[in-house]
């Protein structure tokens, strides 16, 4: 896949003189009125609008909502994003528009073909994607997004997103997590071997690539094991963990597979350290038979603090979603992922940009910071460089007393491998 430079040469300013002033409301979907000429933007208010005098910007959502391995996370991610944009509307909207993220919500079943199918269904009617869940699924539509000038907030963290103009990622990639995890456990636990166990493709592959780079820098043993989704498919990976007995196992799988691998490996005598990258955890695992093993052997690696963390963003998220049956870091991620798109819409509507989808892409390239309300450092939103690679990771311990089952072990840090590594492309390009 061709990697694109984040900056489009000469893109700024050519169409500026023909554009509208700040806050001018736009035309109906696909038309041109009031200077806005972008699909998914209407001069009519949103359905059940908070601000009746505002126009409406429709954002699409493609998530894993029913049958896929990340459905326990996709549902709260989607709910949190609805709450995030409702809060934006309650605060007046952006540039004369309310934001609607409820009209065009589709289930991808974590299947790339389904993802592409539903993208084609909603693309003509949305300005951008508030969520596109998964690395392989989003890759299935990436070229179309580029051709359509559609931008999207991904619900995934492959390092490829740092080199894509149309992707508004947040937080450190799986590759950076792999580097930082190895560095941390070499320095603090003295590990001498690491095994990466993950799905084939950009999720497991990106994390494994980072772990392998750090293992090379640290001169420790590295093994990579691919495992397919599904609890019935984990016997091979479990057998290899028990047989080779690495000091650390880096997991990049879904929560169900996490429980199966950790629980059964421990039952067969493995006593080493497991670390799961961001999507591996769900607090419901504490109700599974694997709970004792998870409490003893598992550490979570993530791009930000868990549900109950003490930041303004976390507090706003908790207030907006209200009481929920089970606090879950799907909520946390859905909320955090929304800040860059909010900042991009503000930049686009309030700045001198072509009021088209292409103008929104251009505005994104000029973002120097994003206000994550403390959930991430503002510099994590810098889009002005050759890539968007952010290098800080958070480690959390399993804590049954915490709201989402995690408490911070090590707050934002960057290990020496990631600090020194020059990212010139995605870590995994399989």
DSSP characters over 330-383: HHHHHHHHHHHHHHHHHHHHHSS--SSHHHHHHHHTT------TTSS-GGGG--
User: Within this chain, do residues 313 and 248 fall inside the same structural domain, yes or no?
Assistant: no
- Please, is 319 exposed, middle or buried when counting C-beta atoms within 10 Å of its C-beta (0-12, 13-18, 19+)? exposed
Nearest to 274 by CA among 211, 319, 214: 211
As a whole number of angstroms, the distance between CA 232 and CA 256 comes to 10
CA-to-CA distance for 342 and 382, rounded, in angstroms?
A: 14
Q: Quick one: 59 and 140 in the same domain?
A: yes
The predicted structure's pLDDT at residue 26:
43
pLDDT of residue 72: 87
Residues 202 and 261 grouped into a single domain? yes
Q: For residue 302, give the nearest of 169, 399, 187, 406 by alpha carbon.
A: 406
Q: Can you give the CATH number for the domain in which 291 is found?
A: 3.40.50.2300
Asked whether residue 296 is assigned to any structural domain, the reply reads: yes
- Residue 274 within any structural domain of the chain: yes
Contact between 107 and 63 under an 8 Å Cβ cutoff? The reply is yes
Q: Determine, yes or no, domain membership for 4.
A: no
| pLDDT score recorded for residue 33 | 40
Which sign does the torsion angle of CA 132, 138, 140, 143 carry?
positive
Q: How far apart (Å, rounded) are the C-alpha atoms in residues 364 and 295?
A: 41
Looking at the domain assignment, is residue 213 inside a domain?
yes
Question: What letter would DSSP give residue 283?
Answer: G
Q: Residue 218: helix, strand or coil by DSSP?
A: helix
In a domain, 224, yes or no: yes
**The predicted structure's pLDDT at residue 35:** 72
Distance, in Å, from the CA atom of 389 to the CA atom of 418, rounded to the nearest integer, reads: 10
Q: What's the pLDDT score for residue 261?
A: 98
Residues 351 and 330 in one domain: yes
Give the phi and the psi of residue 88 in degrees, each rounded to 5: -60, -45
Which neighbouring-strand residues pair with 413? 393
Segment 96-155, tens digit of pLDDT = 999 999 999 999 999 999 999 999 999 999 999 999 999 889 999 999 999 999 999 999
Nearest-angstrom CA–CA distance, 217 and 211: 10
Does residue 169 fall inside a structural domain? no
pLDDT, residue 22, reads 36
Range of the structural domain that residue 293 is part of: 174-303+394-420
Looking at the domain assignment, is residue 225 inside a domain? yes
Q: Are 48 and 140 in the same domain?
A: yes
404: number of Cβ within 10 Å? 24
Assess if residue 13 is contained within a domain. no
User: Per-residue b/e over 144-160, b at no fewer than 16 CB within 10 Å?
Assistant: ebbebbbbbbbbbbbbb
407 and 266 share a domain? yes
Distance CA(155)–CA(177), nearest Å, equals 16
CA angle (60 as vertex; 46, 168 as ends), nearest 5 = 120
Q: pTM of this prediction?
A: 0.89
Report the candidate in 191, 197, 185, 186 with the shortest Cα–Cα distance to residue 299: 185
Where do the H-state alpha helices sit in 200-250?
202-218, 235-244
**Token pair recorded at residue 386:** 């050759």
Q: Which residues of the chain have pLDDT under 50?
A: 1-33
315 in the same domain as 288: no
Is there a single domain that holds both residue 299 and residue 412? Answer: yes
Q: What is the per-residue pLDDT across 177-208, written as a single tens digit (0 to 9) for each? A: 999 999 999 999 999 999 999 999 888 999 99
Given a contact cutoff of 8 angstroms between Cβ atoms, the answer to whether 136 and 203 are in contact is yes
Regarding whether 191 and 149 lie in a shared domain, the answer is no
What pLDDT score was predicted for residue 69? 86
Alpha carbons 377 and 192: distance in angstroms, whole number: 32
pLDDT for the residue numbered 201: 86
Please check whether residues 53 and 113 belong to one and the same domain: yes
Rounded CA gap, 410 and 30, in Å? 48
- Taking the C-alpha atoms of residue 417 and residue 345, their distance in angstroms, rounded to an integer, is 35
> What residue ranges in 180-316 does DSSP mark as E strands?
193-198, 221-226, 248-252, 273-276, 298-302
Asked if 223 and 243 sit in the same domain, the reply is yes
Say yes or no: 359 and 415 in one domain.
no
* Whole-number pLDDT of residue 7: 40
Count the domains in the chain.
2
Alpha carbon 247 to chain centroid distance? 28
Q: How far is CA 75 from the centre of its chain?
A: 14
User: Other C-beta atoms within 10 Å of 325: how many?
Assistant: 5
Q: What is the pLDDT of residue 429?
A: 79
């Amino acid at each position: 896949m061709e990697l694109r430079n984040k900056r489009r040469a000469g893109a700024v300013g050519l169409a500026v003189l023909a554009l509208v002033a700040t806050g001018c409301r736009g035309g109906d979907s696909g038309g041109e009125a009031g200077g806005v000429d972008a699909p998914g933007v209407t001069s009519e208010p949103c359905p059940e609008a908070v601000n009746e005098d505002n126009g409406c910007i429709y954002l699409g959502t493609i998530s894993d909502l029913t049958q896929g391995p990340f459905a326990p996370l996709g549902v709260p991610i989607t709910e949190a994003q609805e709450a995030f944009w409702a809060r934006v509307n309650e605060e007046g909207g952006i540039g004369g528009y309310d934001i609607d993220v409820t009209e065009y919500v589709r289930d991808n079943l974590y299947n790339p073909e389904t993802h592409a199918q539903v993208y084609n269904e909603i693309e003509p009617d949305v300005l951008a994607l508030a969520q596109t869940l998964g690395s392989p699924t989003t890759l299935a539509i990436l070229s179309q997004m580029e051709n359509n000038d559609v931008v999207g907030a991904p619900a995934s963290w492959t390092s490829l997103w740092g080199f894509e103009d149309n992707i508004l990622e947040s937080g450190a990639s799986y590759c950076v997590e792999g580097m930082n995890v190895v560095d941390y456990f070499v320095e603090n636990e003295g590990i001498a071997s690491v095994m990466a166990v993950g799905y084939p493709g950009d999720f497991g592959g990106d994390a494994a690539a980072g772990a392998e780079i750090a293992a090379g820098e640290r001169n420790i043993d590295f093994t990579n094991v691919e495992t397919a989704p599904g609890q019935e498919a984990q016997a091979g990976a479990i057998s290899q963990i028990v047989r080779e007995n690495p000091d650390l196992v880096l997991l990049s799988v879904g929560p169900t597979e996490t429980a199966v691998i950790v629980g059964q490996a421990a039952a067969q005598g493995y006593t080493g350290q497991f670390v799961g990258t961001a999507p591996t955890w769900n607090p419901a695992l504490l109700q599974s038979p694997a709970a004792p093993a998870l409490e003893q052997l598992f550490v979570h690696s993530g791009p930000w603090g868990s549900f109950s963390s003490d930041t303004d963003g976390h507090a706003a998220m908790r207030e907006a979603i209200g009481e929920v049956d089970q606090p879950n870091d799907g909520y946390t991620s859905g909320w955090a992922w929304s800040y860059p798109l909010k900042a991009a819409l503000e930049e686009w509507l309030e700045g001198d940009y072509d009021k088209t989808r292409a103008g929104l892409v251009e505005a994104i390239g000029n973002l120097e910071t994003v206000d994550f309300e403390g959930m991430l450092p503002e510099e994590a939103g810098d889009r002005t460089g050759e890539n968007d690679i952010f290098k800080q990771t958070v480690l959390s311990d399993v804590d049954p007393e915490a709201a989402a089952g995690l408490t911070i072990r090590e707050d934002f840090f960057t290990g020496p491998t990631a600090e020194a590594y020059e990212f010139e492309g995605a870590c995994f390009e399989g």
